[in-house]
Amino acid sequence: MEPEGCGAGDPPPSLPAGVQRVLVVGSSGAGKTTMARALAGRLDLPHTELDALWHGPGWVPRPEFEADVEAMLATGRWITEYQYRPVKDRLLGRAQAVVWLDHPFLLVVARLLRRSVVRAVTRRTYWNGNRESVAMWLRASHPLRIVLSREFRAKRRRTEAELADAAARGVVVVRLRGARQVRRWLAGEGTRRSEGR
């Protein structure tokens, strides 16, 4: 079974009324956190940013990460990003709905490059005092390196299969392609929520 909204001419579906557990899916640079924050406001759900739970000082993964994710899931009301292998199965297993930002390769690369440059130049502090530097771009784990490798397409194929399985279990999967479709869909969701439909 294909995730909903996959057909060439199919309009993306709305999220179900009263949804309480939402995942935002996409590659690095797709805008997962931005979408999650926007939906959290519309749906009156608490947003937990997984990057903030994952990254400890010096970009070292926090040992409390999995316990913190479990505590979030136990609340029964959340919206977060679908990432980090140790918890992905648990996140998808408890989600009621998924918003997949399935953007074109060039859009993702452009966003990641812009984000990386801005972070390196401004030296803004991120999670637990971390700052991005140009030297970090050389690391195999840097999002820009990952997206520019074959991993981008391989991850997209894995995601498609994972979400098809989730859709078969009854999870609503909204697949959005490109910034224009995201804006239109979000505008529609905002109207639907404000009118109480």
pLDDT tens-place string over residues 70-118: 999 999 999 999 999 999 999 999 999 999 999 998 998 888 888 888 8
Estimate to the nearest angstrom the gap between the alpha carbon of 56 and the chain centroid.
20
Say if 101 falls within a structural domain. Answer: yes
Q: How many CB atoms lie within 10 A of CB 45?
A: 18
CATH number at residue 164: 3.40.50.300
Evaluate whether residue 115 is within a structural domain: yes
pTM of the model: 0.85
The CA distance from 136 to 152, in Å, is 19
Report the mean per-residue pLDDT for the chain: 87
Quickly count: other Cβ atoms within 10 Å of residue 60's Cβ: 11
Asked if residue 15 belongs to a domain, the reply is: no
State how many domains the chain has. Answer: 1
Q: Is residue 9 part of a domain?
A: no
CB 31 within 8 A of CB 176: no
Query: Looking at the DSSP assignment, which residues form a beta bridge with residue 181?
Result: none
Stretch 122-145: mean pLDDT: 80
| pLDDT at residue 8 is higher than 50 | no
Q: Is residue 153 part of a domain?
A: yes
End-to-end CA distance of the chain: 27
Least Cα distance to 129 among 49, 65, 64, 56 occurs for 56
Q: Quick check: is 3 in a domain?
A: no
Range of the domain at 103: 21-195
Answer yes or no: is 6 within a domain.
no
Instruction: Report if residue 8 sits inside a domain.
Output: no
Q: Give the whole-angstrom CA distance, residue 16 versus residue 100.
A: 15
